[in-house]
Chain A
Amino acid sequence: GQQLNQSPQSMFIQEGEDVSMNCTSSSIFNTWLWYKQDPGEGPVLLIALYKAGELTSNGRLTAQFGITRKDSFLNISASIPSDVGIYFCAGRTSGTYKYIFGTGTRLKVLA
């Protein structure tokens, strides 16, 4: 099925560094979601975005709904070891109940 392109695919960073990742689509979306998946667990919702240009924060996490409505960005500030995991974006177009999930960004934090 269709998937969203996420970048980077994986990254190693030092504790305390800021992290940026993005998600791009060929389709226009009206909702963007960002999830984190820990090993052995299901994805957990981090941030939901509903409007182009919207900027929403959840603690050290900030996500933005791109103004073209074809992309979204997630930033993590001052990373800590528990930020390790896989981050997925998901998008949905109007008129459908189904979300398309991104390919994932695997984050590893070096203490």
Chain B
Amino acid sequence: SAVISQKPSRDICQRGTSLTIQCQVDSQVTMMFWYRQQPGQSLTLIATANQGSEATYESGFVIDKFPISRPNLTFSTLTVSNMSPEDSSIYLCSVEEKGQASYTFGSGTRLTVV
């Protein structure tokens, strides 16, 4: 299965600032996703990152707050903008490889906003 490298692994940020998280996959994949996992909670889909076009956002998530780029089939970024303490979460990149019906996850970015 695909190997996903996610950076940074963790960060502590000041409120009002922005953080960009990178997701690099070792093979070309069709589907890439960004999830949020709030402390002690399950995984919530933020958006599907579409190669060469705007991401598809889930209800409750907007592009101004979580801009996403996907310039090619192996790389995507998620930016958490104008952060507040409520944004403190683990952010996870995941992919679905062609021919597989399951998701592979990166190790996540643990974000703390102070």
Contacts and interface: CB of A to CB of B under 8 A. Distances in A.
Interface residues of A, number: 23
Interface in B39-65: 41-45, 48, 58-60
B107 A41 contact: yes
B101 A42 contact: no
A3 B42 CA distance: 8
A45 B2 CA distance: 12
Interface residues of B, number: 25
Contacts of A45: 1, 102-104
A40 interface: yes
Interface of A: 1, 3, 31, 33, 35, 40-45, 48, 50, 88, 90, 92, 97-99, 101-104
A102 B101 contact: no
